[in-house]
Chains A and B, each alone.
Chain A
Amino acid sequence: MSATSYDEMHASDGEVREHYRTFASWLARTPSDRVAHKRAEADTLFHRVGITFTVYGEDAGTERLIPFDIVPRIIPANEWKHLAAGLKQRVRALNAFTNDIYHSQEILQAGRIPAEQVLCNGQYRPEMQGIDVPGSIYAHIAGVDVVRAGEGEFYVLEDNLRVPSGVSYMLEDRRMMMRLFPELFALHSVAPVEHYPDLLLENLRSVAPSGVNDPTVVLLTPGAYNSAYFEHAFLAQQMGIELVEGQDLFVDDEFVYMRTTRGPQRVDVIYRRIDDDFLDPLVFRPDSMLGIPGLLAAYRAGRVTVANAIGTGVADDKSIYPYVPEMIRFYLGEEPLLSNVPTFVLRRPEDLAYTLAHLKDLVVKEVHGAGGYGMLIGPAASKAELEAFRQRILRSPEKYIAQPTLALSACPTFVDAGIAPRHIDLRPFVLSGREVTLVPGGLTRVALREGSLVVNSSQGGGTKDTWVLER
């Protein structure tokens, strides 16, 4: 790992940071065989409960565990306060931006963001133009990826506003920690996260079409072979709502119904975990077997709420990301509380030239990529890989952005050789409805390979319980 990276547990003089002291002394006095035993127990439990994800590109339906690390990621109260305020501010601005883009486009007229950057973006959905959505909320659930770098300052890495996942691991990791080490929770005042499903349901109900008193909310999943299926089933169960697939829903006279054993039943809010492209084969991809023909018509007629709204991708696209601080200033009249990572947009010739000259120091990402696929980490790449990527960039520079490699902060983590620092990130989940809320915590992902900066579960990442201390 990089010598300059921020260590979450130890200060530069090697002293344990104050918020980790109680944990460190607990770890020091707990026999290592007890810890080893508990780690094995965690694995067994996760397997039995079936908290698995499906890996694409392997045999269909291969289910794997996401490794769980028992050293928690601890965030002191004051740091969280700052972070939470920054996240809420950011999501407010992103919702205002999306609403603006699909209505009067003032920010484009004001010249704060180049219009063609937005309107020619593949994620811009002209079908959404002029549609009013309840409360003008588009991103009801945002999973904002945050990292710490340098001396420990927070940077937002990306805003996931389409179908962000991972919240089930936040909840299951906490449940697991409490089961394995209840004594730790007596020693710390860890802010609870267990009420997330309640907040989510309340949030979804609050954005039902107007005039619906007791809205029926459903969770729309692509099905049991989707990589995040466990989470879909888990959230539906925790909220006590139906987990539906496209084939369970149909549209009649611009109302959405689900097929039940007692006939059709009206649906008012769809918490969808399917990408825009697959939602309605009449409008988007005609070959989609996952969607509901006629859904968009019902949506336009205001008969059903889709969460997140269709077309939110225009706000979390990596090519739009560099303009988020500008959005905060434009819509809220505030200065951003959280920093963006400096970003080179390769459609700009000067950014392209710089990037090609400094490829080995940069991280290059596909604008539409997700899950750590299609990404180049300059410092870790071989000469051949750099050259291959250079050719890909030259073929279509508009598909890429580049950022300096951040020395992501590191947190002590159990590895084969014992405990060693590994790089981490953080994904808190911000809910927007009648108000903007978030539970104190999030999903901490950890890159288990030494020196690796890729925390995605599909690329060998693990997770940690995330503790926000109340004092």
Chain B
Amino acid sequence: MLSRTADHLYWMARYTERAENLARMLDVNSRMSLLPQGTEILEQGWIATLTIIGLMDLFRQRYDSVTSSNVIAFMAFDRENPLSICSCVHAARENARAVRGTLTSEIWETLNATWLEMRGTSLRSSSEAEVGNFFEWVKYRSHVARGVIQGTMLRDEAWHFTWLGTYLERADSTARILDVKYHLLLPRGEQAGGAADYYQWSALLHSVSAFEIYRRVYRDLITPRRVAELLVLRDDMPRSLRRCMSQVHMHLQSVRNAQSAETERRAGELEASLHFGRIESVFEVGLHEYLVRFLGQVRDLSDRVSRDFLVSAAD
């Protein structure tokens, strides 16, 4: 298929996934802000989220103070912010539009409808209920998009590039969401392992739709080690790093070309390390340090995918 077409499909999928994960990430902090805590802690939570997404500087340029309503305005609706949910939904739609001839009409119509609805949406208040509904809607539209892709798309190269984008993005996002916890402070007087800590971990689990899964799998208390194990190493957890990397590796194998051997090897190496890794070794390095390194590896793979397939070096 055309390199440019593959590029648009890949980014269509990445932006769709990114919009969803931004909603998830913001949702963690929204949920945490319900805890009885001082404004300082709340502010620290938002700063952590913005830092992890890499947008703290841009936010400071555009807003005076770190309040829930400012951050949500910035991250959800601000078109000047290239990584707001609104901008991502738009970018997904524009990428789809550029290759609408390659997509089934259902896929295009779904992404177009999401954008049309997004454009007509604004929050009347930053009340918890309204913000929560909005995040739910973003996730729901992303589910619909994936479902339509799953249900209507020919299993050809276009399919593989679409999922390559989805899983690379998801690997990146899950790692960042998990890392949010590292940056969070506990309220004064609270201990690690105390109620507030528990609440933070459970909010994180909720945000990646893993709370019930955790209960089913472990039937036990929520501990950092198990949360990390679930989101890093478990193959049956759809948003875990391992699951994402095994999918990335598989789709890379399906689109293999003359120059992609090294990219495939690196993806395989990363997958193997997750496959055979133990959570103890992750914690020996330190979870935060581990995640930072993982994000670097995902970035490397993304760059290599672009070079090998998407910007063609044909001439």
Contact = CB atoms under 8 A, between A and B. Distances in A.
19 contacts: A50-B97, A50-B100, A50-B112, A233-B101, A234-B101, A237-B100, A237-B101, A242-B1, A242-B2, A243-B5, A243-B101, A244-B2, A252-B315, A257-B314, A259-B314, A261-B1, A261-B6, A263-B257, A264-B314
B98 A261 contact: no
A233 B94 CA distance: 13
Nearest to B108: A50
A262 interface: yes
Interface in B18-40: none
Interface in A417-435: none
A236 interface: yes
A233 B310 CA distance: 20
B2 A250 contact: no
* List of 4 A-B pairs having minimum Cβ-Cβ separation, nearest first: A259-B312, A237-B101, A233-B101, A236-B101
The secondary-structure label for the interface of chain B is helix
A49 interface: yes
A243 B99 CA distance: 8
Interface in A49-65: 49-50
Contacts of A224: 94, 97-98
Contact of A261 (B3, B97, B108, B109): B3
A250 B310 CA distance: 16
B272 interface: no
B157 interface: yes
B109 A247 contact: no
Interface of A: 47-50, 223-224, 229, 232-234, 236-237, 242-245, 247-248, 250, 252, 257-264
A247 B100 contact: no
Nearest to B256: A262
B69 to A, nearest CB: 29
B261 interface: no
Nearest to B103: A237
A242 B157 CA distance: 14
Most buried by B among A50, A223, A244: A50
Nearest to A47: B116
Given A50-B108, A247-B4, A261 B309 contact: yes
Contacts of B109: 48-50
Interface in B63-102: 94, 97-102
B214 interface: no
A50 B113 CA distance: 9
B112 A48 contact: yes
Contacts of B4: 244-245, 247-248, 259
Contacts of A229: 97
Contact of B3 (A47, A50, A260): A260
Given A252-B315, A263-B257, A258 B100 contact: no
A441 to B, nearest CB: 22
Contacts of A245: 4
